[in-house]
Amino acid sequence: MATYTYGGCIEQAYRVNWKIKDVLGTVDFDLGRPWLPADLSGSGGIFCLSPEEKRKLTHVEMGAYAHLVGFLETFIAPLMVDLALDSEEEDPHAFEALTNFASEEVKHMHLFREVSRRVDARLGFPLKLIEGQGEIARAVLSRNKGAVLLLTAAIEWFTQQHYVSSMNHADDLDPLTREIFRCHWMEEAQHARLDQLEGLRLFKDMTIMEREEAVEDLVWLLATVDGLLERQTLLDGLNLERYLGRTFTDQERSDILEGLLKAKRHCFIESGVSHPNFLELFLSVTTPSQRARVQGAVDLLLQKRPAPWTLPD
Ligand SMILES: [Fe+2]
Ligand SMILES: [Fe+2]
């Protein structure tokens, strides 16, 4: 198993720390380029759109992707403050590393809000994005802390994979988008390692019943994330229609929603819970039957059809 240390994480965090103004600089998004790779935007799997429409889809989808990452970070920041207070006496570096982690996450939320403003300005209309971060964060944080930590670990490992596998070498991708997610990737690398340290610490002291509760709550949390993805997918369809200035046929709407939701589930659920480093933690804190329970729930989520094309509540 990989061995990380709180001291190593805080040292590296200070080394790579950046400011929002340096990330966003003076360059704007380039409308002539894709803003999100095909596998993360779903553009590769939607066949009713022309090449130009697919490029425009990636613009809408980058806005949604950045918003969803920032949305999920709303519960991660207070979770880390809570864990920092727990672990203060166990390791002299833990408190500092975890509070710095929380502070970076708040900075990321600010960054993604600024990204949203810039996307709206570039596209010429405000993207419809899901709301209710505070309410969802409170509901998430009311669940078993080990479950919330496992979900957090899945999220932070997928941010690593998305940048390295899909953005780092994508030379045609919009340069500003690449810079935003490169900077995010650099700070998230320490977060993911701290999730592993904290996950092992939390589960070590849990009773069998508490571990069972953590597994059930993780299933609930994954379904909650899926609900957010479904809501944003419907909004993405509306955003795309407005951006392209045409009304889709019923068949096109169905194909678009299907392709977008599949890509979102791959991004925000599948690529996290199947990441080798997430699995290393997950395997060390769960039994085979608990893992089968979570895998079965994930398999069911991935098969669910999107809701019909309507304006969500
Ligand atoms: Fe982040
Ligand atoms: Fe993070």
Q: CA 237 to CA 112: how far, in whole Å?
A: 21
User: 106 alpha carbon to ligand 1 midpoint, in Å?
Assistant: 8
User: 180 alpha carbon to ligand 1 midpoint, in Å?
Assistant: 11
Residues ≥6 apart with Cβ < 8 Å to 11: none
User: 191 alpha carbon to ligand 1 midpoint, in Å?
Assistant: 8
Q: Which ligand is nearest to the CA of 155?
A: 2
Q: CA 66 to CA 29: how far, in whole Å?
A: 14
- For residue 180, what are its two tokens? 């935003």
pLDDT digits (tens, 9 = 90+) for 55-92: 999 999 999 999 999 999 999 999 999 999 988 676 88
Q: CA 233 to CA 212: how far, in whole Å?
A: 32
pLDDT digits (tens, 9 = 90+) for 225-270: 999 999 999 999 999 999 999 999 999 999 999 999 999 999 999 9
The domain spans of the chain are 6-303
Total-model pTM: 0.96
With a cut of 60, say whether residue 313 has pLDDT above it.
no
Q: Which ligand is nearest to the CA of 109?
A: 1
User: 202 alpha carbon to ligand 2 midpoint, in Å?
Assistant: 18
pLDDT digits (tens, 9 = 90+) for 26-50: 899 999 999 999 999 999 889 999 9
Q: Which ligand is nearest to the CA of 184?
A: 1
CATH level 2 (architecture), domain 6-303: Orthogonal Bundle (1.10)
Length of the chain, in residues: 313
Q: Which ligand is nearest to the CA of 71?
A: 1
Q: CA 68 to CA 266: how far, in whole Å?
A: 14
pLDDT for 307? 84
User: 208 alpha carbon to ligand 1 midpoint, in Å?
Assistant: 32
User: 309 alpha carbon to ligand 2 midpoint, in Å?
Assistant: 32
Residues ≥6 apart with Cβ < 8 Å to 187: 13, 16, 17, 18, 104, 108
User: 179 alpha carbon to ligand 1 midpoint, in Å?
Assistant: 14
Q: CA 194 to CA 4: how far, in whole Å?
A: 8
User: 70 alpha carbon to ligand 1 midpoint, in Å?
Assistant: 7
- Specify the residue for token string 């997610």: 181
User: 105 alpha carbon to ligand 2 midpoint, in Å?
Assistant: 6
Instruction: Judge contact between 153 and 196, C-beta under 8 A.
Output: yes
